[in-house]
Amino acid sequence: MAISGRRRFDDDKVVKYETAEKDFEVEVSRTLNKWCVTVYQMPDKAIVVQDFYPERWKALARAQDFIRLLNQRKKKEEEGLAGSRDDDDY
């Protein structure tokens, strides 16, 4: 299968993802011939981590991984707090 050298119209579009709690934002953007994945801590948009990938699909996959991990972190914290409350009842 031949791959066209033409890029799609939305290839340069910035993609943003937010965690369920809206305390982190992950952004994928084109920077200096590479794709940049940046994780911001909200509300002041402090950069937590930034990484670069040669291909857009890799950057998008990593951004989704970050969102999934950040959302799991929040759930585990809640489960841990609920578990410690149960221990205090006895």
C-beta of residue 39 within 8 angstroms of C-beta of residue 49: yes
31 Rama sector, left if φ>0, alpha if ψ -120 to 50, beta otherwise: beta
Provide the pairing of β-strand 34-41 with 46-53: antiparallel
Beta bridge mates, 25: 18, 40
pLDDT bucket at 13, cuts 50 / 70 / 90: confident
pLDDT in tens, 19-72: 999 999 999 999 989 999 999 999 999 999 999 999 999 999 999 999 999 999
